[in-house]
Structure 1
Amino acid sequence: MVKSYQGAFTLKNNKKEEPQSVTVSDYMATKLITFNELQSINEVMEILLRNKISGGPVVNENQELVGIISEGDCLKEIVRGKYNNTPRLPGLVKDHMATNIISIPPETNIFEAANMFLRLRFRRFPVLKDGKLVGQISQRDIMRAVNSTKEVNWKH
């Protein structure tokens, strides 16, 4: 099987079969660090720093996406703590996470996802299938997809 920007295809008897799109599911991360709504911002910050990540999905007990927590959201709690002169960060994820989430399905074409990144200026999109979180695609994943495709397979 050969993957190109037009999609994946196989050669059988020197005939090219119908191309299949290179999709988000081909390059998305599936082993995600997730958070829950009742975790403290202090705990979230420790996890983000330890794992060298800038944010992550917030899921409920059914693996349904309920929000995204990021470094910026943690900074809000830091500023609040400084204002209240409290060194601990007792705020909860549910009080700071973003809830207006734009997700994409795993069958989304890699170029459609790239356009979404440019248009919406997000760093990552959660990938949902049947309402459940199945992965996450980042701008870096898109670049990896493009980089792994042979130049000779480039078709405009």
Structure 2
Amino acid sequence: MRSIKIKDYMNRHPLKFTRKMPVEEAVALLVSANQSGGPVVDQNAQVIGFLSEQDCLQMMLKGTYHNEQSANVEDCMSAEVLTVNVDTAIVDLAQTLGSNKPKVYPVVDYEGQLVGVISRTDVLRAIDLYQRESHGKH
């Protein structure tokens, strides 16, 4: 099972945001892609934050309630981001997942650049497929 790597199951074309992107634009991307969040990257594709549906919801409600101008992604993103390396074993990530952990992890290469994202669903799919193949149940 250790041979199954994150790179084999990650989403290689994730939503990504920039810090100066308007929240409304980010929300439109989240809704159209049916994703719960995505990494915020700088001009060098380095992960500098994470924007979730919850972050957007809170900011948009605040803006609507107070009739304020639009906010940017940097105004509501989480700056503390847990990333995983592309060569991390799926089983290692699965063992760290808990109820207070993120549902989506940015995946980075050895230079720290974003190369994809992996979700709990992706991890579950990898483990399920491994079990089916190892027990001869296709």
Which range, TM-score by smaller chain?
A: 0.7 to 0.9
Letter in 2 for 1:77: M
- 1:115 pairs, out of 90, 95, 107, with 95
1:141 and 2:122 correspond: yes
C-alpha distance in structure 2 between counterparts of 1:39 and 1:96, whole Å? 11
Structure 1 regions of 5+ residues with no counterpart? Answer: 8-20
Q: Secondary structure at the match of 1:85?
A: coil
C-alpha distance in structure 2 between counterparts of 1:82 and 1:128, whole Å? 35
% identity of equivalent residues: 30
C-alpha distance in structure 2 between counterparts of 1:24 and 1:100, whole Å? 21
The 5 Å alignment of 1:20-35 reads 21-35=3-17
Corresponding residue of 1:104: 84
C-alpha distance in structure 1 between counterparts of 2:130 and 2:106, whole Å? 23
TM-score, scaled to structure 2: 0.88
- 1:49 pairs, out of 26, 31, 43, with 31
C-alpha distance in structure 1 between counterparts of 2:76 and 2:14, whole Å? 20
- Provide, for residues 22-50 of structure 1, a one-character-per-residue CA deviation record: whole Å limited to 9, x for no partner: 11111111111211111111111111111
TM-score, scaled to structure 1: 0.78
- Provide, for residues 110-142 of structure 1, a one-character-per-residue CA deviation record: whole Å limited to 9, x for no partner: 111111222752101111111101111110111
Which of the pair has more CA radius of gyration? Answer: 1
Q: Secondary structure at the match of 1:118?
A: coil
The 5 Å alignment of 1:3-18 reads 5=1, 7=2
Structure 2 regions of 5+ residues with no counterpart? Answer: none
Corresponding residue of 1:13: none
Letter in 2 for 1:142: V
Q: Secondary structure at the match of 1:111?
A: helix
By how many angstroms is 1:147 displaced?
2.1
Contact 2:6 2:118 in 1 (8 A): yes
C-alpha distance in structure 1 between counterparts of 2:37 and 2:133, whole Å? 36
Corresponding residue of 2:45: 63
